Amino acid sequence: MTAIDADFSKTYLFPPAFEDLIPKDHPARFIREFVDYARLDVELEWNFEHGDGRPTYASALLLRVWIYGYMHRITTVRKLEAACRENVGLLWLTGMNAPDHNTLWRFWRLNRKTVKRIFKQGLNLAVDAGMLGMVLHAIDGTKLQSRYSTRTAWSQKQLEKFRLRLDQEIEALEAEIATHEESNDEGYRLREELTTQENLREIIAERLSVLRKHGQTMMNRNEPEARVMKLAAGGTRLGYNAQIVADAEHGLIVAEAVSNAPYDQGQMMPMMDLVEEEFGTLASETVADGGYNTVETLVQAEDQGRSITLATGANDPEAHAHEPFHATHFKYDATENVYICPQKQRLEYSGQKKKDTGRSVEIYRCAVSATCPVASECTESPKGRSIERSEHQDLVRQHRDKRESVEGKANLKKRSELAERPFADIKWHMGFVRFRGGGLLNAAAEWTWNCLTFNLRILLRRWRAEMTFQAAN
């Protein structure tokens, strides 16, 4: 039996139809339908007047190219340019019009903010398809490394150490010059070396001044917006904090953002604001991990009537199980207005104190610290052990009870898969583990493109399923 091989001499009476290049359920067909649905030509930053030269590429064509590229892990302009000439899906999407890498890059750069509108069009498509439940939302964040590395960054600690060493070397050179005043050759060499060291000292002083101006202890001059943070991949590097809100119905990302905040604290309310801005309402319940669990977040949610459930945070007893005398292990008795310590001793109310934040707290102090056998383990204060009780302590306790309820535990159990699955998919299936563009604006655009792609992959599965169902009926 003869093996099948390519017949390079084959000819056709009629050329193959363009529509026959790809199968009916090919992702390129879905992308074309999505771009047609989005109707974004007039909103995209691209419609240039071409004058007497060659007409510009249509913005819809370039948008289709970039979406296809992100869905197939082709996200550099040189590789995307080559794929437009070689990849059958892109040949079909572009009608065999292959834009060059400069055109692709200009389109991407000009639409760094506009891409958020494209992301919202994807959400509108999901709403039309009935794929958003708005019952349970999960918020989470991941820290990704910035384009410019920590290795080439300025560190205040290292710069100050270098400046101190330079001061010592300059002082030694000045003393040596004084002893070689009569030797012209040696004195000239020493004075030249002194000038070099003094110039270095001026450079160090200038860099320290820039760090102080930005309020940072470490900064890369090429990307001053990046901040030092503990990355998800491990280690401490310059990076950005990428946030998402995921809907429980199909796992779609309903809101996304990038900031240079090193921690998740303070990020929950802004993310919920984005959801409310887009849909005019919030999910019945929103959950997040312990990194978002702060008194301020609980107070803001209470004031705005938002229902949230947060995992165990730094102010919960579970986080201090190995510290038997941590304040979270002291029980408040509302009937007598006292705290009871783990040794069953009473801490009586002794007055109020105003914190730096402007908030007043009540102080409860132990009267038997001087004779308590575990006083040295309980406190180092000569005044004895004291406990601060804020006006929001009851709210914290109510939230703790909510978290420990059957419903609260069930929602937090769903949170892990719901919120962390998009990150796993974006990093390992889509290959996005580090920002390529320098600066917060570029980082935000990259993250939006990846979140849009994640959603479109889910919508593609629904599109294929409906196509299969229609074919079967």
What is the amino acid identity at position 182? E
Domain check: are 90 and 27 in the same one?
Answer: yes
Residue 174 lies in a domain: yes
**DSSP class of 144:** E
CA proximity to 450, closest of 116, 87, 121, 171 = 116
Q: How many domains does the chain have?
A: 2
Domain check: are 100 and 177 in the same one?
Answer: no
Q: Per-residue pLDDT for the chain (473 aa), expressed as one digit of tens each?
A: 678 888 888 888 887 788 888 999 999 999 999 999 887 555 777 766 556 677 889 899 999 999 999 999 999 999 999 999 999 999 999 999 999 999 999 999 999 999 999 999 999 999 999 999 999 999 999 999 999 877 777 777 776 776 777 777 777 777 776 776 655 555 556 667 767 777 777 777 776 687 677 777 777 778 888 888 888 777 888 899 999 999 999 999 999 999 999 899 999 999 999 999 999 999 999 999 999 998 889 999 999 999 999 998 776 766 677 888 888 888 888 888 889 998 888 888 888 888 777 778 889 999 888 788 888 889 888 888 988 888 888 888 889 889 989 999 999 999 988 988 999 999 999 999 999 988 999 999 999 999 999 999 999 999 999 887 777 76
CA proximity to 245, closest of 141, 144, 138, 142 = 138
Contact at 8 Å (CB) between 116 and 407? no
CA proximity to 345, closest of 323, 321, 371, 319 = 371
Of 187, 202, 219, the one marking the end of a domain is 219
CA proximity to 316, closest of 307, 325, 329 = 329
Residue 169 structural domain: 154-219
Domain check: are 30 and 107 in the same one?
Answer: yes
Structure-token match 């001053």, residue found: 224
Domain check: are 23 and 78 in the same one?
Answer: yes
Q: Is the dihedral of CA 17, 23, 26, 30 positive or negative?
A: positive
Helices (H), 129-260: 156-179, 184-214
Residue 430 lies in a domain: no
Residue 203 lies in a domain: yes
Residue 105 lies in a domain: yes
Residue 460 lies in a domain: no
Of 111, 138, 162, the one marking the end of a domain is 111
Return the SS3 of 332.
strand
Q: Is the dihedral of CA 86, 87, 92, 93 positive or negative?
A: negative
Residue 3 lies in a domain: no
Contact at 8 Å (CB) between 457 and 71? yes
Contact at 8 Å (CB) between 247 and 254? yes
182/186 Cα distance (integer angstroms): 9
The H or E element spanning position 85 is helix 77-86
Of 171, 190, 219, the one marking the end of a domain is 219
CA proximity to 200, closest of 227, 180, 170, 245 = 170
Cα angle 83, 84, 87; round to 5:
55
The H or E element spanning position 377 is helix 375-378
Return the SS3 of 7.
coil
Domain check: are 30 and 100 in the same one?
Answer: yes
Residue 341 lies in a domain: no
Contact at 8 Å (CB) between 258 and 447? yes
Cα angle 106, 458, 257; round to 5:
55
Residue 274 lies in a domain: no
226/339 Cα distance (integer angstroms): 44
